[in-house]
Amino acid sequence: DAKTTQPPSMDCAEGRAANLPCNHSTISGNEYVYWYRQIHSQGPQYIIHGLKNNETNEMASLIITEDRKSSTLILPHATLRDTAVYYCIVRVGSGSARQLTFGSGTQLTVLP
Amino acid sequence: EAGVTQSPTHLIKTRGQQATLRCSPISGHTSVYWYQQALGLGLQFLLWYDEGEERNRGNFPPRFSGRQFPNYSSELNVNALELEDSALYLCASSPRGVGAEAFFGQGTRLTVV
C-alpha cells in the first residue's frame, strides 16, 4: 500500500471548517483513500473513503486531486468533539478487503 | 445494527500467563483484523482473518496467535505474556467487496503486571 504523509498537528477554531491534508504521491490506480479518526483511547472511527471522485457524507467531505497524489478531508463546522487524531490511509481496494496500515496521523485540536 | 464488540473491556494478567481476547464482527462481515496500540504509540497491525483463514500477519512473534470461527467471530491469544504486551487491543471487521471499509470495536485494555 502507498505511503501517506500528514502534518503532525493542526488547530482549528470551533465552528470553522477544518481542512486536513494528506499526500500520497505513490498511490496506484486501484488504491482507495480512507480517513479514520481516533478520539483518545477509543477505537478508530471510519469517516469516509474514495477512489478518485470527491465524496461527501454526514460527517465530512473528501476532496481528491485529479492526479490522486493528494487529498483533503474537510470537516465543515468543527466542534470540540472533533478533537482527535485523524489518519489518512491508502489501501488496495480490489478483491477481498485487506488490513489498514496506520501512520502517525494528524492531531486536530478544535479550540473554543 | 450492532457494531463490533470486544470482550473483556479490561484484562489484567501476570507475566508468563496467557490472555484470550474475543471479537464479534458486524453481522455479515467476513473479515476480522486485530491491532495492538501500546500507550502513546500508533496502531500496529497484528492479524487478519477472512473466511476462517489467516490471510496476513504483522511483525509480531508467534506467541501472538488467533483464529476465526465459522460464525466469523475471532479470538486473539497471547501466550507467555510480557510486560510490554500491555496495550489496547483493537478488533475491526469489514465485509467483502471492493473498497469495503472496516469498522472498529472499542478495544480490550490488557495490562500485564
What is the number of CB-based contacts under 8 A between chain A and chain B? 64
Q: What is the pLDDT of residues A50-104, one digit of tens each?
A: 999 899 999 999 999 999 999 999 999 999 999 999 999 998 765 555 778 888 8
Say yes or no for a CB contact (<8 Å) between B98 and A105.
Answer: no
Smallest CA–CA distance from A106 into chain B, residue = B42
B71 dihedral zone (left: phi>0; alpha: psi -120 to 50; beta)? alpha
C-alpha cell at A51: 477512489
Q: Chain A residues with CB inside 8 Å of B45's CB? A: 99-102
Q: Given CB atoms, is B48 within the 8 Å cutoff of chain A?
A: yes
The sign of the CA dihedral B59, B99, A38, A13 is: positive
Confirm if B58 and B44 have CB atoms less than 8 A apart.
Answer: yes
CA distance B53 to chain A (A): 13
Q: What is the pLDDT along chain B (113 residues), one digit of tens a residue?
A: 689 999 999 999 999 999 999 999 999 999 999 999 998 788 999 999 999 999 999 999 999 999 999 999 999 999 999 999 999 999 999 987 766 788 999 999 999 99
Interface test with B, best of A33, A38, A40, A100 (most B CBs within 10 A): A100
**B77/B65 Cα distance (integer angstroms):** 5
Q: Chain A residues with CB inside 8 Å of B92's CB? A: 43-44, 100
